[in-house]
Amino acid sequence: MTVTKGPATDAGQPTRSLKGSLGVTAIVFMVVAAASPLTVVGGAAPLGILLGNGVGFPSMYVVSAVILLLFAVGLSAMTRHVPKPGAFFTFVGYGLGKPAGLASAFLALLTYTTIQVSVYGYIGYLLSVTFAGLGAPEIPWYLYSLASIAVVGLLGYRHIDLSSKVLGVLLVAEVGIVLVLAGAVIVTGGADGLSAEPFVPEQVFSGSPGVGLMFAIAAFIGFEATAIFRDEAKDPSRTIPRATYIAVIGIGLFYTLASWALVMAWGPDDVLAVAGEDPGAMILRTTLLYLGPVGELVINVLLITSMFACVLSFHNVITRYQHTMSNAGVLPGRLGGVHPKHLSPHTSSLVQSATAAILIVVFAVLGLDPVLQVFTWFAGVATLAIAILMAVTSLAVIVYFARTKQDRRLWNTVVAPGLGFIGLVGSAVVIVVYFPMLVGDVDAGGNPVFGTVSAVLLALIAVCPVVGLVQAAYLRRRRPAAYADVMDAIGG
């Protein structure tokens, strides 16, 4: 089914429509791989415990899952009635108009680009440390990052089925090792016995719950991308909603269990101190303690493959966003091309790989630390941007169905999206308040203050939607025919 407006597919003209037969399992694998389970458990969870609300951090995954599940209800309803693959910008366009849709499109590109490049920084660092530890010559982290970009670009250039199979294998392995670790903690009773202390109100609201919520929401980034694979799904109206619900529920349960097990492994009284000693090595120390040296080696290898799976999945998401935006007349037409053999958005893939490589080079020239700055800063930008995008999309769902009356189910079109909107706006406000702490902008007393770094990073989130609004105004005034063509892709 062709869902984008582009050149006719006559002989000698390339097709611009993506096609495929992805099922629920394949799509779930790709979006959950983007959430990078082992990276979250091994990297983000210790930081959430250390910088967030300590022992109560596992509860933040429950809060995030509930908010995002409410959002998913409206997202799934729109998927059934708006047969387009653009997800955020398409749904916002249909609900709130083309200018808002274009603003959302550029904010979405910022979201997925920043989260992907942040992980490229982390994987480059991890590879450099790992190989140096094995006796190999010391190579700068950014060279490993660039090598990872090349491998991901190769897979992204080819058919989506290849990426889904690679992601499936890696995902099963990393989820499996974490479940084995959690099982070992449960069987042994942990350090001080098993308890529900992480979910006690006084623990939930201890420390800096806003920072904890930031890390928790960041762990879910990618699940909402199920709608982007609409054109490549077997039965979009059924496959996409099912994949969305399975992804958000599965991610929520998994992260809650894994982070709870991490707290139990060291005990509520000692877990904060252990995280403070070396948060990056906490998962390795925990695995060594409960699964021995072999388990530690396995999880170290899988931590690297987990990050690789993450960047590959986000690469697929970004290339399809660019492809859809191209066919909507928003980005250059060449980005909308589809490879005649691999049936992939190959030009978009090449451009995305080049973009990631350029950013890594810029970060290297600026001398940024790959973990404390590249990973932490830009993951924070992506988290705030995604919360804003989801909130706007929830509002668009309500407005769209109120206007069209295509779906009269009150829960699906008003109540759930409305509650999701409130939760997401609240989350965005909390993230903004605590954002300076993420980048180290604090006063002598450790309180967050909006310094230069905070201002610049938050400005990115403000500027990108403006680009979309300016483009909409330009098209409307100078190229009215092109502006009218955008109707087919994002409504309004």
CATH of the domain at 194: 1.20.1740.10
Q: What is the mean pLDDT of residues 35-55?
A: 86
In a domain, residue 238? The reply is yes
CA pair distance 226, 249, nearest whole angstrom: 14
- Where residue 440 falls (left for φ over 0; alpha for ψ -120 to 50; beta otherwise) is left
Give the model's pLDDT for residue 237. 67
In a domain, residue 168? The reply is yes
In a domain, residue 8? The reply is no
In a domain, residue 6? The reply is no
In a domain, residue 181? The reply is yes
CA pair distance 331, 403, nearest whole angstrom: 29
- Where residue 116 falls (left for φ over 0; alpha for ψ -120 to 50; beta otherwise) is alpha
Range of the domain at 166: 24-490
Q: Model-level pTM greater than 0.85?
A: no
Structure-token match 């770094």, residue found: 453
CA pair distance 43, 50, nearest whole angstrom: 11
Q: Check pLDDT > 90 for residue 170.
A: no
Question: What confidence tens digit (pLDDT) does each residue in 132-164 have?
Answer: 878 888 899 999 999 999 988 887 766 555 555
In a domain, residue 65? The reply is yes
Q: Check pLDDT > 90 for residue 346.
A: no
In a domain, residue 321? The reply is yes
Instruction: Decide which of 5 and 412 is more confident.
Output: 412
CA atoms within 13 A on the CB side of 303: 26
CA pair distance 84, 90, nearest whole angstrom: 7
Structure-token match 């993951």, residue found: 379
CA pair distance 258, 216, nearest whole angstrom: 13
Secondary structure of residue 207 in the 3-state scheme: coil
Give the model's pLDDT for residue 420. 95
Are residues 395 and 95 in contact, defined by beta-carbon separation less than 8 angstroms?
yes
Give the percent of the chain with pLDDT over 70.
84
Q: Check pLDDT > 60 for residue 335.
A: yes
Give the model's pLDDT for residue 309. 77
Q: Give the chain's domain count.
A: 1
Give the model's pLDDT for residue 5. 40
Closest of 358, 370, 91, 84 to residue 228, by C-alpha? 84
CA pair distance 375, 117, nearest whole angstrom: 8
Q: Check pLDDT > 70 for residue 107.
A: yes
In a domain, residue 15? The reply is no
3-7, 189-193, 372-376: least confident range: 3-7
Give the model's pLDDT for residue 22. 60
Question: Identity (one letter) of the amino acid at 77?
Answer: A
Q: Check pLDDT > 60 for residue 431.
A: yes
The confidence band for 200, taking pLDDT boundaries of 50, 70 and 90, is very high
Beta-ladder partners of 112: none
CA pair distance 416, 397, nearest whole angstrom: 10
Average pLDDT, the chain: 83
